[in-house]
Amino acid sequence: MKKDMTKLGVTLMLFASLACASLAVVYAFTKESIDKQSEMQLQASLKELFPQATAFDPIQDLVSPNPNFRFEAAYEVKSDMAPLGLAVKATGPSYGGNATLLVGIDLHRSVAGVRVMTLNDTPGLGMNASNPTYYVDKTKKMTFLGQFAGKFLTDPFEVKKDVVAITAATISSRSLTNIIKAAGNAAIAYMDQKAIAAPAEGDASAGDGAEANTQPQAGGK
Amino acid sequence: MKKLYSIFKQGIIFDNPLLMLMIGLCSAIAVTTNVSNGIGMGLAMTFVLLFSEVIISLFRKLIPTTIRIPIFIIVIAAFTTMVDLVMKAYFPDLSKSMGVFIPLIVVNCIIMGRVEAFASKQKLASVIADGLGMGLGYTWVLIAIAAVRELLGSGTLAGIQVMPASYQPILFFILPPGGFFVFSLFISLNIWLKKKMEASAKNKELVTKKEAA
């Protein structure tokens, strides 16, 4: 019996090590490409949020006051040395595990735009947050994240009040809204502390080209 | 060769994992909200199924029966993780839209079922036929269900607008109840197809080989 157990254990170990070894090979093989993809995605999103920006300087000392939200990276966005705003890569809990968003805050203390980095919510429901053709407001062609563009952090950020929810995905809508709010507030605190402010003429308004949302907010349904 | 073809056909229609064996349904309902997800999921599944079955079949004499299940899971999990990594590296968009369902292939009962019931007892050639048959059987059903659901539920096919702009999408088809509804229609279609094929086979007095499934 005892001999049997050792034999079984060794067999299992052999299979596991073989599987591990082959996984390690695939991982090493794909790692570079995966890192490149996520870096490309991040850079593309930063460019989308701040089209006029010429430099994104990483900043280290932006910490989250709430342990539920993590700021993986933050960038001071500049255009020829003049500040444009802050971009925060923030992770927080959502319906299907952690979601990572890139939140851009401009010098007027409003949201320049939001992009999804990773989201694992229900396909067809919560995942609609990252679907560019899913509109929470069809008449205005406004996507869920698009509605945050130009929104001031002084707003209450409450789903079904000043934020239109995704149909059948209230938890996702709420979670993502909270991540944006946490990232935004931290970014504003940072800008206040470092005295990064809009120049008097206020020409630094960062537009969100793809999801321009100049019309007034629709409010809850 | 004929035997292999009949094993392959078992998976596509007669013993279709989704429509006849009724296993692995959760992923089938969950990802079939658009066609590209259906194709991606189906092919990922076929890959994992085929290679897990091949490996298990090759090593079947070396696997002690008492610990066969943990070994199956290790093999299946390894292949699933490979698919996940490769998709993340080379098809980031698809990987993003499938989200958690690729890692969940590990616990898909089709793979476990086929490995346990078929691959652990059969020779390599029939195992390859079974893996391809079952995998493609799963894939065509996913694509078909996804096509119906996406067309009626979003008015698009693989993300391309098909229905006229005036068409108001029926949300019901995107939600799980609509999935079950479309799914049940395909089950009846498959039973009808199966009966018809069996009848024609009898007419030609060809006895369909019944393989222990």
Q: What is the 3-state secondary structure (H, E, C) of B109-178?
A: HHHHHHHHHHHCCCCHHHHHHHHHHHHHHHHHHHHHHHHHHHHHHHCEECCEECCCCCCCCCHHHCCHHH
Looking at residue A208, what is its pLDDT?
Answer: 41
Q: A128: distance to nearest CA of chain B, Å?
A: 10
Question: B213 in a domain, yes or no?
Answer: no
Looking at residue B97, what is its pLDDT?
Answer: 73
**Which of B29, B32, B41, B67 is best to mutate for the A interface (most A CBs within 10 A)?**
B67
Looking at residue A202, what is its pLDDT?
Answer: 42
Question: B124 in a domain, yes or no?
Answer: yes
**Which of A26, A31, A120 is best to mutate for the B interface (most B CBs within 10 A)?**
A26
Domain count, chain B: 1
Question: B153 in a domain, yes or no?
Answer: yes
Q: How far is B101 from B84, CA to CA, in rounded Å?
A: 10
Q: How far is B198 from B76, CA to CA, in rounded Å?
A: 34
Q: Tell me the per-residue pLDDT of B29-41, one tens digit each, with 9 for 90 and over.
A: 888 888 888 888 8
Looking at residue B170, what is its pLDDT?
Answer: 81
| DSSP label of B10 | I
| DSSP label of A65 | S
Looking at residue A27, what is its pLDDT?
Answer: 92
Looking at residue A43, what is its pLDDT?
Answer: 87
Question: B98 in a domain, yes or no?
Answer: yes
Looking at residue A23, what is its pLDDT?
Answer: 92
Buried-state track B5-39, b at ≥16 Cβ within 10 A, e below 16 = ebbbbbbbbbbbbbbbbebbbebbbbbbbbbbbbb
Question: B158 in a domain, yes or no?
Answer: yes
- Tell me the chain A residues in contact with residue B99 when contact means C-beta distances shorter than 8 Å: 96, 119-121, 123, 127
Question: B211 in a domain, yes or no?
Answer: no
Contact status, residue A219 vs residue A97, Cβ threshold 8 Å:
no
Q: How far is A110 from A206, CA to CA, in rounded Å?
A: 10
Domain residue ranges of chain A, discontinuous segments joined by +:
47-211
Q: B212: distance to nearest CA of chain A, Å?
A: 28
Question: B208 in a domain, yes or no?
Answer: no
Q: A120: distance to nearest CA of chain B, Å?
A: 5
Per-residue tokens: B203: 């007419």
- pLDDT less than 70: residues of chain A: 1, 198-221
Angle at A198 between CA A194 and CA A199, to 5 degrees: 115
Looking at residue B67, what is its pLDDT?
Answer: 86
Q: Measure the CA dihedral B7/B12/B15/B19, to 10°.
A: 170
Residues 6+ apart with CB under 8 A from A48: A113, A115, A208, A209, A210
Contact status, residue B16 vs residue B194, Cβ threshold 8 Å:
no
Question: B101 in a domain, yes or no?
Answer: yes
Range of the domain at B49: 2-203
- pLDDT less than 50: residues of chain B: 206, 212-213
Q: Tell me the per-residue pLDDT of B130-158, one tens digit each, with 9 for 90 and over.
A: 999 999 989 989 999 988 888 888 777 87
